[in-house]
Amino acid sequence: MPRHGILPAGTARLLAFAALVFILGAAFTAVEPRFLSTQNISAVTRHMAANGLAALGLTLVVIVRKFDLSFAGTACFSAMTIGYMIAGGHDLWLCIMVGVLAAAVVGAFNGMAISYFGLPDIVTTIATGSIAGGLAFLYSQGRTIFQNFVTSGILDLNDARLFGYSVSFFFLIALYAVAWVFMHRTRYGASFYATGENPVSAYFSGVPVRTYTMMAFVICAVTSVFAVVLILAESGTADTNKGATLLMPAYAGVFLGAALLGGTSVLATLAGTLLITMLLDGFSLLGVPYYYSDGVVSAILLTGVVLFDARVRQLFSDLASFIQPVTSASEKRS
């Protein structure tokens, strides 16, 4: 199955996706007219930025056919690192740099363990995620950090506007554009795909397979920090569980997008994230309690993956041809 190109698997799927977004938007607007208000659209774009950034790194990990369950824990650790630095009165960009660096170390550790030492990805990342989540408590023994947040300027990341929309959304679009060019228009991106499709043949084609696998994990950790910085900016405090909410939407975005557009790619993840964020935001606008959100995302993810699974569609077409096999055959003959 070809997985490269501008449109992952044909224009038809893209049109279907656009129709789905339109129907969903229309349905929400019909029930709750505020869905189309500038305020809500601005909120959707802001939430989409956080979810989309976390999902972008995960996309790369999934493309090399691995899983990363640690980025939520890593994000918690980085969030507390950044919070601690901000409380210490350091420059904001230095704080974020240190946070990114801390996550990159965890990501590099994951990548080393999995690609160079051949440890199983799921278990390793669960372990490192747990360790990173534990380390997040070290700075303040689990207490919330809020000192200096107002004066540090981190809140501006949330409040800054460009053409009426949050700057973070444009950052998301820019990063996705870069990622798209990188993944789908350079040989480096092709190497990521090759590593996932067939590591042995990729290796013999001159792709340093292990380096690419490791890079995927490092990038995943780093983008999750970008996401958590936005969450910090929105809430104005650093908690030990600030990154924990990233896991579900990121997985849902990547796999729902892959199911909709027929393959894991940067665009597919963006599409999946848009859909997930619309749904989450729409439901919260309708006043659905917070504890349903994970369930809704999970249910959509499961439905999407099942409905678009190749084997299930085969099953459906088999069923269809079983129900009316004669008519279609006779039509062809006549």
Partner 1 sequence: MTDVISTHAVAERRHSKAINRIIGRYWLVATLLVMIAVFAFLRPQLLDSSNIATILRSSALMAIMILGLTWVIAAGKIDVSFMQIAALGNMTTAWLLASGSGWTLAAICGVAVGAVAGLLNGTLIAILGIPALIVTIASGGICASIAAALGKGTSIRIADAGLLGDLLFTNWGPVPVIAVIAALFYLISWYAQEKLTFGHYIFAMAQNEKAVNEAGIAARSLLLFLFVLSGICSAIAGVLLAASLSSGQPMIGSSYFIDGLTAVLLGGLMLRIGKPNVLGTTTAILLLSVLVSGSAMFGWADYQRQIIKGVLLLVGVAVAMQFGHRSSSPMQGA
Binds partner 1 by CB under 8 A, chosen from 40, 124, 168, 269 = 124
Residue of 110, 109, 53 lying closest to 229 (CA atoms):
53
Residue type, 39: Q
With 0-12 CB in 10 A as exposed, 13-18 as middle and 19+ as buried, what is 317? exposed
Angle, CA 62 vertex, CA 226 and CA 211 arms, to 5°: 80
Residue of 52, 320, 302, 300 lying closest to 176 (CA atoms):
52
For the bound state, the minimum distance from the C-beta of residue 301 to partner 1, rounded and expressed in Å, comes to 5
Take residue 197 and report the two structure tokens written for it: 């499709």
Binds partner 1 by CB under 8 A, chosen from 54, 82, 121, 202 = 121
Q: Residue 245 in contact with residue 164, Cβ under 8 Å?
A: no
Q: For residue 298, state whether it binds partner 1 (rule: CB under 8 A).
A: yes
For the bound state, the minimum distance from the C-beta of residue 244 to partner 1, rounded and expressed in Å, comes to 10
Binds partner 1 by CB under 8 A, chosen from 91, 295, 316, 321 = 295
Q: Segment contacting partner 1 (CB under 8 A): 182-190, 221-229, 277-285, 295-303? A: 295-303
Place of tokens 């796999």: 255
Q: For residue 141, state whether it binds partner 1 (rule: CB under 8 A).
A: yes
In this complex, which beta carbon is closest to partner 1, that of residue 96 or of residue 301? 301
For the bound state, the minimum distance from the C-beta of residue 311 to partner 1, rounded and expressed in Å, comes to 6
In sequence order, the β-bridge partners of residue 165 are 162
Q: Segment contacting partner 1 (CB under 8 A): 11-19, 145-153, 245-253, 270-278? A: 245-253
Residue of 14, 11, 43, 41 lying closest to 29 (CA atoms):
41
In this complex, which beta carbon is closest to partner 1, that of residue 157 or of residue 248? 248
| Of residues 25-54, those binding partner 1 (CB under 8 A) | none
Q: How far apart are the first and last CA of the chain?
A: 34
Q: For residue 131, state whether it binds partner 1 (rule: CB under 8 A).
A: yes
In this complex, which beta carbon is closest to partner 1, that of residue 45 or of residue 70? 70
Q: Segment contacting partner 1 (CB under 8 A): 43-51, 179-187, 261-269, 289-297? A: 289-297
In this complex, which beta carbon is closest to partner 1, that of residue 148 or of residue 243? 243
In this complex, which beta carbon is closest to partner 1, that of residue 64 or of residue 227? 64
Q: How far is CA 37 from the centre of its chain?
A: 26
Residue of 2, 24, 5 lying closest to 286 (CA atoms):
24
Cα–Cα distance for residue pair 54/66, rounded to 1 Å: 16
Binds partner 1 by CB under 8 A, chosen from 74, 81, 115, 128 = 128
Q: For residue 255, state whether it binds partner 1 (rule: CB under 8 A).
A: yes
Q: For residue 134, state whether it binds partner 1 (rule: CB under 8 A).
A: yes
Q: Which residues make Cβ contacts (< 8 Å) with residue 322, sequence separation at least 6? A: none
For the chain, helix, strand, coil in percent to 5 are 80, 0, 20
Binds partner 1 by CB under 8 A, chosen from 91, 156, 159, 309 = 309
- x/- mask, partner 1, residues 65-104, rule CB under 8 A, reads xxx-x-----------------------------------
Task: Specify the length of the chain in residues.
Answer: 334
Q: For residue 292, state whether it binds partner 1 (rule: CB under 8 A).
A: yes
What own/partner pairs with CB < 8 Å and gap ≥ 24 does 305-314 have? 305/255, 305/256, 305/259, 307/259, 308/259, 308/260, 308/262, 309/259
Place of tokens 């569980």: 241
In sequence order, the β-bridge partners of residue 166 are 161
Binds partner 1 by CB under 8 A, chosen from 122, 175, 190, 285 = 122
Given the rule CB under 8 A, which residues bind partner 1? 65-67, 69, 113, 117-124, 126-131, 133-138, 141-142, 248, 251-252, 255, 289-299, 301-302, 305-306, 309, 311-312
